[in-house]
Amino acid sequence: MGITKGLKPAKVFEYFEKICSIPHGSKNEKALSDYCVEFAKERGLKYYQDELYNVIIVKEASKGCENRPAVIIQGHLDMVCEKESDSTIDFERDGISLEITDGYLHADKTTLGGDDGIAVAYALAILDSDNIVHPKLEVVLTVCEELGMEGASGIDLSMLEGRMLLNIDSEEEGCLLTSCAGGCHVTCRLPVHYEELKSGKTFRIDINGLTGGHSGCEIHKCRANADILAGRLLLFLRDRGFDFRIADIRGGRKDNAIPVDSSFTINVCGTKEINTAIDDFTDIIKREYKTSDPDIILHITEISETPDESGDFKVLDKLSTDAVVNIINSLPNGIIAMSSDMPGMVETSLNLGVIDMDKDRVVMHYLLRSSKDSSLDYLAARMQCISSLLGAEAEISAQYPAWEYVPDSKLRAVMIEAYKDIYKEQPRVESIHAGVECGLLSAKIKGLDCVSFGPDILDIHTPRERLDIASVQRTWEYLLEVLKRL
């Protein structure tokens, strides 16, 4: 144990620090999955590991609890890998560098992976203990939750006995989640064509300093989206009469995170002064987002042309340049509808998380969410309609269902009473406009009773992510009390 030495609960933080030392971004969970398997082997616990690298570990009930129903503890192995522009981490090979500041555990210029490393740490600490009172435990650790819940979709749960599931994948202590939005990914691919320019000036525009955040939990805060700002700036320049061609455009890293930076390179013909236009646009954006994104920065750099072997500079032709500007500004983004059933709750939304270019296409990655499956289907169909009109193709993938509220829940009742006894107050029972795996898992196990909870984790999916150390301790004590009562 290193930086977390002395933190309580000791075993939880010991395992969390170990998890952070193992690279485990989405699609790169094998090493952490194998670690969990070795953990089970060393303790003589029954385990399953599938070809996706999902892991199930089973521990028999503690003495005196043999006749109680089995309980499932569930979380996911992968994390969102975001970093500040000056971070040198290689998420494929490097572990997370941990720091402690003002009672919070956080990472050095990267996401922490508290979402959902803390669930794995809690589970391993319980499995490693001989003095915790608990029924039979079935720990389910999935992969690729952050990329569309691929692990939960593909996992075989037929060997499980449990019909009550504790999902430790929420980030607000005192909140018990009992339903969530469904979602899907939409990838828009716009074919583009190039031409060769031998005149004009070339500029790179960088948009940085945005607040960002979780594209579900924080979509209602209406924070700026760097990819949308890039498209809006291009539209602003076109409306100002600039004759330009796009050479490159990129922004964001994950479709479930509101992008904090983007950049594009354009070749501008004519004598119009672009720096003044950029200043004017910056003033507009800073006024609009002065509260949510006070640190927005736009930076323009004139760069030397990058000729190919023939001495020509390749850029998108005018039709393709216009098509890129049109599609970014035509497809919807952000909140689409608020819930009429739960005042103040977002019902339907989407987030443009990534813009990228390959050889002959501009590719845009969206994550759509809705608490109503019919509204989700309609929004996805709208994306296809608009894309088609603009000459693009929209592919829908990784769709997962909403998790519906269960009126009669024994698990929820036990957790409410345990919370009131420990905290001396009523917990909040809520829905969330984000995806948790309970919906997919409930579809696999008939009558599954689920509650999602967890300690305080702030600014998840951003390099500002931090885990409240005291909250981890309180949530641990609450988890153990719930297991005792079950």
The residues carrying an active-site annotation are 78, 145
Picking from 368, 371, 367, the residue whose alpha carbon sits closest to that of residue 339 is 371
* First-residue to last-residue Cα distance in the chain: 32
Picking from 239, 235, 257, the residue whose alpha carbon sits closest to that of residue 249 is 235
Which residues lie below 8 Å from residue 225, measured CB to CB, with a gap of 6+? 210, 258, 259, 333, 334, 351, 352
What does the buried/exposed string (b/e) look like for 143-155 if buried means 16 or more CB atoms within 10 Å of the residue's CB? bbbbbbbbbbbeb
Q: Report the DSSP beta bridge partners of residue 231.
A: none
Picking from 410, 460, 453, 447, the residue whose alpha carbon sits closest to that of residue 429 is 453
- Whether cis (ω within 30° of 0) applies to the bond prior to 108 is no
- Whether cis (ω within 30° of 0) applies to the bond prior to 9 is yes
C-alpha 383/C-alpha 158 separation (Å) is: 36
